[in-house]
């Protein structure tokens, strides 16, 4: 019986070191950080070039067993199309028809954030005279079922609301799907602002599918949504993530880029600093999910390369791990998303959409052109 109570530790498990490293190289960064206390030699594995090479190979060696959604925005138009891409070289494509509420006009449609359990959030913003009209749907492309999300605010002639949906996700505690959005309030004339109580400036709201209504959140989130991250949030394991910049009125041209992580169940958030941001900094950042971890792709215009850094623990700046830097051809502009096996998609300066094949370390064309900023890929 004594042997059954014997504790298992690295010292009494005789596994070959190469096998142990191979197992560890298949884990998400968060798990690696957690296991770093088990054995001293595991503490700095991600600083070991040999281990990083193994991690890189495992990250990029997965077969393409799932498809991608490509949200294409046709250059020089307001037209947008949605394709399903699949196959070894993404050579197969199926075009989806937008759900019926978007058939009446041809305004740009944006996929907000990630696909969650087969469902995506669609947003269409159009101008009717001087009024901004926003339609939001939750849509399941495979079944063609959709749900219209009701407006969160009533239009007021003296006010302008600037609404940005920052996340779509699933609350596993209440078995509910939710949206979170930021609202900026502007008075259209000074007289209104003087007569009425102080305007809130900005606030946050959350929508519940179960209740089919919006409610205000009691959050003191003193950061602004990063302009490049509109519609490009990611969702992972009950948490929505998006990019923001610190609200720094004293140094508006030198601020901190933050990752905001919002838990859909607790409805709490935590911020993780990424880097300093300068308005003269020619660096684009894009959020993706790689190997069950949140990652930031940073592209640099001055040296035609991109970095991939993975988050180890939300709220801890030092937990960012830069996995690798990859050189790019001068024709490549900026990233538009990533596949499940780590392939990263880009737009070229001529509008052609391409993907970086990690296995061959080459750029390959998809055969579709896309508009600057808005074209995106989502894992289905």
Average pLDDT value for residue range 311-330: 85
Mean pLDDT of 63-76: 74
**Lowest-confidence segment of 85-94, 117-126, 172-181 by average pLDDT:** 85-94
> What was the pLDDT predicted at 279?
54
pLDDT at 1: 41
Q: pLDDT above 70 covers what percent of the chain? A: 76
**pTM of structure:** 0.80
More confident residue, 14 or 317: 317
Percent of the chain with pLDDT over 90: 19
- Mean pLDDT is lowest, of 55-64, 100-109, 226-235, for 55-64
In the predicted structure, residue 237 carries a pLDDT above the cut 50: yes
Query: What is the per-residue pLDDT for 264?
Result: 96
pLDDT in tens, 241-292: 999 888 665 555 567 889 999 999 999 999 999 876 655 556 778 888 887 8
The pLDDT value given to residue 254? 64
Looking at residue 200, its pLDDT comes to: 64
What average pLDDT does this structure show over 337-348?
80
Q: Is there a contact between 268 and 141 (Cβ–Cβ < 8 Å)?
A: no
pLDDT of residue 207: 97
Q: Give the model confidence (pLDDT) of 26-37 as tens digits.
A: 776 667 767 767
pLDDT for the residue numbered 104: 61
Q: Which of 126-135, 205-214, 305-314 is least confident?
A: 126-135
Sign, Cα dihedral of 242, 248, 253, 256: negative
Per residue in 278-298, pLDDT (tens digit) is: 555 567 788 888 878 898 988
The candidate with the shortest Cα–Cα distance to 90, out of 64, 112, 62, is 64
Give tens-digit pLDDT for 118-159: 999 998 876 544 455 688 999 998 888 999 999 988 777 777
Burial of 260 from C-beta contacts in 10 A (0-12 / 13-18 / 19+): buried
The mean pLDDT of 289-315, rounded to a whole number, is: 83
* pLDDT of 8 strictly over 50: no
């Amino acid at each position: 019986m004594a042997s059954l109570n014997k504790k298992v530790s690295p010292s009494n498990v005789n596994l070959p070191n190469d096998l142990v490293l191979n197992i560890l190289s298949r884990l998400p960064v968060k798990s690696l950080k957690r296991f770093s206390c088990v054995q001293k030699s595991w503490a700095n594995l991600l600083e070991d070039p040999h281990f990083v090479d193994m991690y890189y190979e495992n990250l990029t060696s997965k077969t393409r067993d799932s498809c991608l959604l490509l949200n294409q925005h046709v250059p020089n138009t307001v037209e947008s199309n949605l394709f399903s891409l699949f196959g070894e070289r993404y050579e197969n494509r199926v075009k989806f028809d937008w759900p019926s509420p978007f058939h009446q006009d041809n305004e740009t449609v944006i996929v907000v954030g990630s696909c969650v359990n087969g469902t995506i959030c669609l947003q269409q913003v159009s101008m009717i005279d001087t009024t901004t009209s926003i339609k939001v749907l939750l849509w399941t492309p495979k079944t063609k079922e959709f749900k219209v999300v009701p407006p969160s605010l009533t239009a007021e002639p003296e006010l302008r609301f600037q609404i940005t949906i920052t996340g779509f996700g699933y609350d596993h505690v209440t078995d509910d799907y939710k949206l979170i959005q930021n609202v900026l309030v502007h008075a259209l004339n000074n007289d209104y602002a003087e007569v009425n109580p102080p305007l809130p400036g900005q606030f946050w709201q959350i929508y519940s599918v179960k209740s089919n209504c919006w409610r205000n959140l009691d959050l003191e989130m003193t950061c602004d949504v990063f302009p490049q991250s509109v519609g490009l949030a990611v969702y992972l394991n009950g948490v929505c993530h998006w990019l923001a910049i610190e609200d720094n009125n004293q140094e508006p041209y030198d601020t901190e880029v933050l990752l905001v992580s919002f838990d859909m169940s607790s409805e709490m958030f935590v911020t993780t600093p990424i880097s300093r941001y300068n308005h003269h900094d020619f660096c684009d950042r894009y959020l993706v999910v790689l190997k069950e971890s949140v990652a930031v792709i940073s592209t640099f215009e001055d040296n035609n390369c991109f970095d991939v850094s993975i988050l180890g623990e939300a709220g801890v700046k030092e937990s960012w791990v830069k996995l690798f830097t990859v050189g790019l051809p001068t024709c490549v502009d900026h990233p538009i998303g990533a596949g499940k096996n780590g392939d990263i998609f880009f737009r070229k300066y001529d509008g052609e959409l391409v993907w970086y094949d990690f296995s061959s370390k080459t750029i390959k064309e998809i055969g579709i052109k896309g508009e600057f900023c808005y074209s995106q890929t989502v894992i289905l």
